[in-house]
Structure 1
Amino acid sequence: MIRYTLIFSAVLLLSSCGKINPPGPRLFKSSDLPLEDIKLPEGFEIELFAAGVKNARSMALSPKGTLFVGTRGEGKVYALRDKDGDAKADELFVLAEGLKMPNGVALHNGDLYVAEVSRILRFPNIEGNLSEPGEPEVVFDQYPTETHHGWKYIAFGPDGKLYVPVGAPCNICKSEDEVFASITRMNPDGTGMEVVQHGIRNTVGFTWHPKTGELWFTDNGRDWMGDDEPYCELNRAPEDGMHFGYPYCHQGDLPDPEFGSQRDCSEFTPPAKQLGPHVAPLGLEFYTQHQFPEAFRQLYVAEHGSWNRSKKIGYRVMMAVMEGDEVKAYQPFAEGWLKDGEVWGRPVDVEMMPDGSMLVSDDFADAIYRIRYAGEAVR
């Protein structure tokens, strides 16, 4: 059973037994997060948009300014609003709880779509019902129930269809069901589900090029091949029906030790960029606003960071410098969540605000940051 609760607060307050505090006006708690450790290019600044947002994962921003946030282990979906316009959230709603890994959130014609492991839910007219969202509609419930890479990032494409990935149900394996290790899409009403991209181990972030409309997505490489291979990937899909190598080939040129003999790497689409071993790239978005200087109007990728590498790597927001369809450079934009081998934050997703600033979610520090350019005015 799904329970719905409204919290007029900018921080989710939980007691030790997991109960939600009673409704009522509350303020964000001050945070002790060491934001001074975050290194940014000259002229950029970082601040908290929201603290205490438990397990903040994927984000979707409405035209009216409501930020919807999914979670994974927390099982909740949030809505945050900045009522006084000071670029800090001051109101938080818990729209649902008790869901199964509701990582993905997306908006379409005023409705909020939420991805569980095996289902897509829809909350109609969500911004008119934040206090009482009601029971969601089940749009689609035929995805696999496997939880290994079962959490999903979702987004509506330029074609108006909902894109939904299905990760491999394992570290490395070959499944007879083509829906695994894929990206699928469907109509907003849940009809017409089809597999559109293949050979993708686990993507938890994709977007479309603002000019060409081509799909770009991240993919997390397999584990247990050592600290330094395979590299995670940034991929480009200019057409439907492409295959990106899994489980036969990793990073475009590295045969899998178990499955690599069955197919040649030349048969598959190589990544647009090899990102590094075990950096765990998740959310990404092209910068299409005007606040950042022109050199920083690029593609941004949140690296969640390695979980089993002997020396940690990732835990940062990277910038892919684009020239047409090519990635000419891949360099740190915001880093410092990993300091002296210790981790205090893990970026998950990025979202661009109408004023040109960037939001970054962090499921480890339970925070959402705002990065803005405060240097010389951009003409």
Structure 2
Amino acid sequence: MFSLLTGCIGLVQASNSMHITVTKGFGVSIYASDLGDAKQIAVGDQGTIFVGSGKSGKVTALVNANQDGRVERRYTIAKNLKYPEAIAYQQGSLYVISDSRILQYRDIERRLRRPLRPKVVYDNLPEMDKRYTRVMHFGPDGRLYVSLGSPCNVCDSDAPFGSIIAINLRTGNTEQIASGIRSAKGFDWSPDDEHLWFVDSGRDWMGDNLPADEINRLDHKGQHFGFPYVHGKDVKEPAYKQPVNLSVKAPEYELPAHVEPVGMLFYRAKQLPKKYHNQLFIAENGSRHRSSKVGYQVVWLNIENNKVVSRNTLMSFLDGGFPVARPYSLAIGKDGAMYISDDLKGNIYRLFYKDPMPAQQQEVKHD
């Protein structure tokens, strides 16, 4: 079984254990494991947690019927798909991107054992002959929003690469909402005004501290966010000159370089304390091209009057400089807890709030 971590955890390292630090008053448990390179997660109406994957080509459903905080049953919804990392749930259906298609699995929570044959509801995404990132969510207007990363470190790629598009699944009509984006692996809408916020990962190979990763807000449709001409607020790209007539929207907030922000959500539930309500949470997947490790944590951004005023670590997966997990996607369960996918160890973590208690040393391990 898995043991539980609560409070500010001290250093624990064993042959089959992992050390995770959480803010005082919080607890975290391993909800499910052995999920491969777990990517985007989505939550069904009945609380089923769906998990997309990258290389493993599978979509998995996790069920915790007795609500004790640990999965009891799992089902393979699909397998042998082409990079089904992007998934979304709406009105009884699960939507999955596979290669250039968006598949709909209807009435999915009633048919976890034997899903219906999926329906292709859209088939005009770029094919995966070039590796690029995709994430999708349904917006407040009912359309399906899909972010399509650039298939390069830095390049002037053609649309729809490097953009966020909105798809009307009834008509098939597609609209480009934002462009000039390198890799937006997480986005959500503000509960206050329904403006779209998204993360963007900066380019590599400009050193340890350049350029900044970004938190962006879309103020109106069609804004350009700088890639590949400018990174962060003011780092010019030497390989590409910004067109004279191009207006660029600067980021709302600069994260440290190479923390690799991916999952993003505004917390709309009530299980966490009030100060976290409607605040912004980011999963920082962690550095690859840096001499020392940064990221590998879940942070919350305190937003006041539509401005980010502070960034605070809520949960860290760095154990003495060694990453024990790479948080990828965030979702809020029916119980109000936060569920976090890990594309390094293939785990899903459940982060929840308890009454504050003294710091203690515990470990997460399995028999």
Structure-1-length-normalised TM-score: 0.86
Aligned AA for 1:344? V
CA contact (8 A) 1:234 1:274 kept: yes
Q: How far did residue 351 of structure 1 move?
A: 1.0
Pairwise mapping of residues 1-379 of structure 1 onto structure 2 (< 5 A)?
32-34=16-18, 37-146=19-128, 148-175=130-157, 177-189=158-170, 191-259=172-240, 261-263=241-243, 267-297=247-277, 298-335=279-316, 337-375=317-355
Structure 1 CA distance, aligned partners of 2:287 and 2:175?
A: 32
Q: How far did residue 226 of structure 1 move?
A: 1.2
- 1:239-297 deviation per Cα after TM superposition (whole angstroms, max 9, x unaligned): 211110001010121111111x3347993111111111111100111112222222233
Structure 2 CA distance, aligned partners of 1:148 and 1:310?
A: 28
Structure 1 CA distance, aligned partners of 2:181 and 2:65?
A: 40
CA contact (8 A) 2:162 2:182 kept: yes
Structure 1 CA distance, aligned partners of 2:252 and 2:130?
A: 26
CA contact (8 A) 1:149 1:202 kept: no
Change (3 A) 1:340 1:148: farther
Aligned AA for 1:349? S
In the other structure, the counterpart of 2:5 is none
CA contact (8 A) 1:252 1:268 kept: no
Report which stretch shifted further, 196-205 or 141-150. Answer: 141-150
Q: How far did residue 353 of structure 1 move?
A: 2.0
Structure 2 CA distance, aligned partners of 1:325 and 1:118?
A: 35
Structure 1 CA distance, aligned partners of 2:17 and 2:125?
A: 38
| Residue aligned with 1:277, SS | coil
Change (3 A) 1:199 1:91: same
CA contact (8 A) 1:220 1:278 kept: yes
Change (3 A) 1:84 1:265: farther
- 1:70-129 deviation per Cα after TM superposition (whole angstroms, max 9, x unaligned): 011111101111022211111111111111111111112211100123221111111122
CA contact (8 A) 1:208 1:216 kept: yes
Return 5+ residue gaps in structure 1 as ranges: 1-30
Structure 2 CA distance, aligned partners of 1:75 and 1:65?
A: 23
Structure 1 CA distance, aligned partners of 2:98 and 2:171?
A: 14
| Residue aligned with 1:57, SS | strand
In the other structure, the counterpart of 1:19 is none
Q: How far did residue 340 of structure 1 move?
A: 2.6
Structure-2-length-normalised TM-score: 0.89
- Superposition CA RMSD, Å: 1.9
Q: How far did residue 225 of structure 1 move?
A: 1.1
In the other structure, the counterpart of 1:8 is none
- 1:57-76 deviation per Cα after TM superposition (whole angstroms, max 9, x unaligned): 11110121111110111111
Structure 2 CA distance, aligned partners of 1:327 and 1:122?
A: 36
Q: How far did residue 32 of structure 1 move?
A: 4.1
Aligned AA for 2:90? H
Change (3 A) 1:307 1:368: same
Structure 1 CA distance, aligned partners of 2:162 and 2:246?
A: 19
| Residue aligned with 1:267, SS | coil
Q: How far did residue 46 of structure 1 move?
A: 0.9
Structure 2 CA distance, aligned partners of 1:51 and 1:72?
A: 16
Structure 2 CA distance, aligned partners of 1:203 and 1:149?
A: 14
CA contact (8 A) 1:165 1:203 kept: yes
CA contact (8 A) 2:135 2:148 kept: no
CA contact (8 A) 1:117 1:152 kept: no
Structure 2 CA distance, aligned partners of 1:147 and 1:221?
A: 23
| Residue aligned with 2:39, SS | coil
Q: How far did residue 146 of structure 1 move?
A: 4.1
Q: How far did residue 188 of structure 1 move?
A: 2.3
**What is the aligned residue count?**
342
